[in-house]
Amino acid sequence: MSSKTRKKTQDVLSKEFEEKWKNPMKKPFLEKLVLNIGVGVGGEELEKAVTVLETITGQKAIKTLSKTNVKEFNLRKGRPIGTKITIRNQNAEKLLKKLLIVNNNKILRKSFDDYGNFGFGITEHISIPGIEYDNTIGIWGLDCVGRVVRPGMRVKSRRKARTKVPKHHYTSREETQYFLKQKFGVEIVKKLDLEFI
């Protein structure tokens, strides 16, 4: 596809999205942002990872447990091997803006799915604005996963009267990318330059 054809397609899509978003039940928003560090072992190293996430977010982190036994890695089912934090609402938006600065506001095109999910990695947590190096903790990498949804998605997970959500109510790959461009100034790229990783 030529760049001229692609631009034309993007213009058509943007008009379609803007028209759709006039309906308040169709307008997408950032539901949550999940930060995750997989350590692989418990103990002191895991506590350091927990401290890193809590420093970045200002919230309490939880430990993730191993779901299976893996003899080669000396893992047992039920043992803590990682940590994660879920941030929601406006706190998620503020944090996402800070995290995107690390990769120069760029996200890989292949980092999106057809259900409104997107993700990116940060190799050194000290590159996040406002985070200082602490030699007792060291340098940690982390995964960031966000979810863009429309109003009404709660019916899928609520306790009473739970029901399925039709496919057309999920935000598509293209719509999620367009939303992030408009709301956060994100640039969608095929590959990241090494200087931004």
Q: 13-56 pLDDT, tens per residue? A: 888 898 889 999 999 999 999 999 998 887 899 999 999 999 99
pLDDT, residue 7, reads 55
Whole-structure pTM over 0.75, yes or no? yes
Which CATH number belongs to the domain containing residue 103 in this structure? 3.30.1440.10
Q: Tell me the residue length of the chain.
A: 197
pLDDT confidence bin for 5, thresholds 50/70/90 = very low
**pLDDT on residue 192:** 73
Q: What is the mean pLDDT of residues 81-85?
A: 92
Query: Is pLDDT above 80 for 91?
Result: yes
Both structure tokens of 123: 């190799």
Residue-level pLDDT at 81: 87
Position 196 pLDDT exceeds 70: no
3-state secondary structure of 182: helix
For helices 89-102 and 44-57, the axis angle rounded to 10 degrees is 110
User: Tens of pLDDT along 102-133?
Assistant: 999 999 999 999 999 999 999 999 999 989 89
Q: Are 62 and 55 in contact (CB under 8 A)?
A: no
pLDDT of the residue at 11: 77
For the chain, the domain total comes to: 1
Tell me the C-alpha distance between 102 and 77, whole Å.
35
Distance separating alpha carbons of residues 105 and 82, to the nearest angstrom: 27
**What is the mean pLDDT of the segment spanning 134-155?**
93
pLDDT level of residue 72 (50, 70, 90 thresholds): confident
Residue ranges making up the domain that contains 170: 3-196
